């Protein structure tokens, strides 16, 4: 074989190897970046869920306190008398 053909084959092989190695390196970096982003999204979703849970618990407490105050005074807001809700049959 002619030496130019051998040089071209060697250069093509080296270029292929470098390209393959570079692709692996970039895909690993992209995967790491995607994993990091997914972890951030999960943490943010957890914080939002916790805030929503706390808000719902606070609203439930406030509603219960209002119900207790209304039942103690015997009136709804606005001065309208309130009857006690009926319990379903069979409940204690």
Listed by start position, the domains of the chain span 1-77
d(CA 48, CA 67): 28
Q: Which of 82, 58, 59 is nearest to 70 (CA)?
A: 82
Residue reference for tokens 């060697």: 10
Q: For position 46, what pLDDT does the model report?
A: 94
Tens digit of pLDDT for each residue in 35-88?
888 999 999 999 999 999 999 999 999 999 998 888 888 765 555 555 566 666
75: left (phi over 0), alpha (psi -120 to 50) or beta: beta
Sequence-distant contacts of 3-9: CB under 8 A, at least 24 apart: none
pTM: 0.47
């Amino acid at each position: 074989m002619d030496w130019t053909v051998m040089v071209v084959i060697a250069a093509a092989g080296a270029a292929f190897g470098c390209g393959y190695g570079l692709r692996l390196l970039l895909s690993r970096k992209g995967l790491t970046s995607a994993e990091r982003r997914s972890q951030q999204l999960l943490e943010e979703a957890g914080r939002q869920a916790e805030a929503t849970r706390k808000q719902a618990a606070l609203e439930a407490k406030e509603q219960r306190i209002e119900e207790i105050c209304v039942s103690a005074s015997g009136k709804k807001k606005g001065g309208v008398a309130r009857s006690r809700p009926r319990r379903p049959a069979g409940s204690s």
